[in-house]
């Protein structure tokens, strides 16, 4: 993933270490953050992907005595084990092919500051062991160095969208590491459980993207805002930001209206206003296009919407029917068209069977 050090003093794409939200849940989270920011205690931030875990970590850093020092984020899920080890701990010259000089690790770069270990649930067991040793001793063991290295003083904030207790049960996450990281636990709720935050977030990002001179969008109409507030946002705030960014680029009027919104967001609003059959058909068309043309994964898009009850079984069946039509009744090809790995094929069929969405393929064979 070529993850680079993201240091708080450097501007990032959308850096607002400003935690926006007016819901009681966000109010409470903000208070908890204020209570625990000053201490050096390790913090585990959990929540679905895109809820704002990194923003929470940045806010903790900004409110701590380390605010003037570095905030360094490491994505533990995006790198192979060897690269992650060198990324975190650094390496000495000659320790592997291509290691032409000594390189400091992120933990060293974060000295006296904060290190944010994102997607910590994705670490291999060996890496977990190395991290645990570091947390116990504070000593950096660089790749290729034969003696214990220098000590660093970093505050560790870890985050994951996984249920670590389940991973512990499965034997893929170390319980002792879990207790080390989980001294204080902050949970960021999904956006659909704090819908009051949607309008304030939407307005904030419209203003932000509106700063771009090529953008003419200034407001969101009341009706469009209602639709945004009703939608389930399986990708949480990240998805909201992406939708608004796209609108800021494509809409050529100052006000975003309901017709500008993507179909699946509009569809929640349109419920009961259009003939059912027709509405289903268009939503299914749109979802099918997202799978086949935009190459979104079935799990992330259609499945997530269905599990959140944003789309009906009828829509799900319609999407499957389209796949079967295009593949002449071959479920394996459908799975590939829907961007599933071959090892996920069984899970896909099981899901369809269980939810009565496995249409007979015979009528699609020629």
Ligand X SMILES: Nc1ncnc2c1ncn2[C@@H]1O[C@H](COP(=O)(O)OP(=O)(O)O)[C@@H](O)[C@H]1O
For residues 229 to 268, the per-residue mask of contacts with ligand X, x marking binding by CB under 6 A and - elsewhere, is --------xx--x---------------------------
Q: Does 200 bind ligand X (CB under 6 A)?
A: no
CA distance 156 to 246: 35
Using CB under 6 A, which of 3, 5, 7, 49 touches ligand X? Answer: 49
Least Å from the CB of residue 61 to ligand X: 13
Q: How far is the CB of 241 from ligand X (least distance, A)?
A: 5
The residue whose Cβ lies closest to ligand X is 52
Q: How far is the CB of 258 from Mg ion (least distance, A)?
A: 30
Query: Does 43 help bind ligand X (rule: CB under 6 A)?
Result: no
Residue 50's binding partner out of ligand X, Mg ion, none, with CB under 5 to 8 Å set by partner kind? ligand X
Interface residue with ligand X among 47, 90, 105, 235 (CB under 6 A) is: 47
| Residue among 77 and 149 whose Cβ is closer to Mg ion | 77
270 contact choice in ligand X, Mg ion, none (CB below 5 to 8 Å, kind-dependent): none
By CB under 6 A, the count of residues binding ligand X is 16
Nearer to ligand X, 152 or 198 (CB): 198
Closest CA to 227 of 197, 196, 268, 186: 268
Q: Distance (Å, rounded) from C-alpha 54 to C-alpha 51?
A: 9
Asked if 53 is part of the footprint of ligand X (rule: CB under 6 A), the reply reads yes
SS (H, E, C) 147-206: CCCCECCCEEEEEECCCHHHHHHHCCCCHHHHHHHCCEEEECCCHHHCCCHHHHHHHHHH
Cβ 194 to ligand X, closest distance in Å? 10
CA distance 337 to 102: 45
Beta bridge partners of 118: 75
Gyration radius (Cα) of the chain, Å: 23
Select from ligand X, Mg ion, none the partner in contact with residue 245, using the beta carbon and a kind-dependent cut-off of 5 to 8 Å: none
List, in order, residues 6 or more apart from 259 with CB less than 8 Å away: 266
- Of 54 and 310, the one with the shorter C-beta distance to Mg ion is 54
21 near ligand X, rule: CB under 6 A:
yes
**DSSP code of 139?**
B
Q: Which lies closer to ligand X via its Cβ, residue 15 or residue 68?
A: 15
Q: How far is the CB of 162 from Mg ion (least distance, A)?
A: 12
Give the span between the Cα atoms of 283 and 275, in whole angstroms: 13
**Of 161 and 315, CB closest to ligand X:** 161
52 binds ligand X (CB under 6 A): yes
State how far the Cα of 199 lies from the Cα of 213, in Å rounded to an integer. Answer: 23
22 binds ligand X (CB under 6 A): no
Question: Do 268 and 277 form a contact (C-beta atoms < 8 A)?
Answer: no
User: What's the rounded Cα separation, in Å, for the pair 337 and 364?
Assistant: 16
Residues of this chain that bind Mg ion (CB under 5 A): 54
Is residue 14 involved in binding ligand X (CB under 6 A)?
A: yes
Element (DSSP H or E) covering residue 256: strand 255-256
Distance, in Å, from the CA atom of 299 to the CA atom of 322, rounded to the nearest integer, reads 17
Choose one: 18-26, 175-183, 300-308, 352-360; the region binding ligand X (CB under 6 A): 18-26
280 near ligand X, rule: CB under 6 A: no
Which CB atom, from 116 or from 303, has the smaller least distance to ligand X? 116
- The three-class DSSP label of residue 75 is strand
Q: Please give the residues from 166 up to 195 whose contact with ligand X meets the rule CB under 6 A.
A: none
Distance CA 288, CA 216 (A): 31
The two beta strands, 103-104 and 90-91, are antiparallel
Of 44, 51, 74, 227, the one binding ligand X by CB under 6 A = 51
CA dihedral of 305, 309, 311, 315, whole degrees rounded to 10: 110
Of 47-55, 96-104, 329-337, 347-355, the segment contacting ligand X by CB under 6 A is: 47-55
Binding site for ligand X (CB under 6 A): 14, 16, 19-21, 47, 49-55, 237-238, 241
């Amino acid at each position: 993933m070529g993850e680079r050090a993201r240091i708080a003093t450097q501007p990032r794409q959308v850096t607002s270490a400003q935690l926006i939200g007016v819901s009681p849940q966000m109010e409470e989270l903000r208070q908890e953050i204020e209570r625990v920011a000053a201490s050096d205690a390790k913090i585990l931030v959990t929540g679905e992907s895109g809820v704002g875990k990194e923003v929470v970590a940045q806010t903790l850093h900004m409110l701590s005595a380390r605010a003037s020092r570095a905030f360094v984020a490491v994505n533990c899920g995006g790198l192979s084990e060897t690269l992650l080890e060198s990324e975190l701990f650094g390496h000495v010259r000659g320790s592997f092919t291509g290691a032409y000089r000594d390189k400091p690790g992120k933990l060293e770069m974060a000295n006296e500051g904060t290190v944010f270990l994102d997607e910590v649930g994705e670490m291999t067991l060996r890496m977990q062991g190395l991290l645990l040793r570091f947390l116990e001793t504070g000593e950096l063991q660089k790749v290729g160095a034969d003696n214990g290295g220098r000590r660093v003083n970093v505050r560790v904030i870890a985050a994951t969208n996984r249920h670590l207790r389940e991973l512990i049960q499965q034997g893929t996450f170390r319980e002792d590491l879990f207790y080390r990281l989980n001294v204080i636990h902050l949970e960021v709720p999904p956006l659909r459980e704090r819908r009051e935050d949607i309008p304030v977030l939407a307005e904030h990002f419209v203003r932000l993207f509106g700063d771009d001179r090529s953008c003419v969008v200034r407001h969101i109409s009341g009706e469009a805002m209602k639709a945004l507030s009703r939608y389930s946002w399986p990708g949480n705030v990240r998805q909201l930001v992406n939708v608004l960014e796209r609108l800021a680029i494509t809409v050529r009027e100052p006000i975003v209206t309901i017709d500008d919104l993507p179909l699946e967001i509009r569809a929640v609003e349109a419920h009961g206003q259009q003939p059912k059959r027709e509405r289903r058909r268009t939503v299914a068309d749109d979802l099918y296009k997202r799978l086949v043309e935009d190459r979104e994964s079935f799990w992330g898009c259609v499945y997530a919407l269905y599990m959140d009850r944003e789309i009906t079984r009828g829509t799900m069946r319609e999407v499957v029917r389209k796949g079967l039509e295009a593949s002449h009744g071959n479920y394996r090809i459908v799975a590939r068209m829907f961007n599933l790995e071959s090892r996920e094929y069984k899970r896909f069929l099981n899901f369809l069977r269980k939810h009565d969405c496995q249409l007979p393929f015979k009528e699609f064979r020629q």
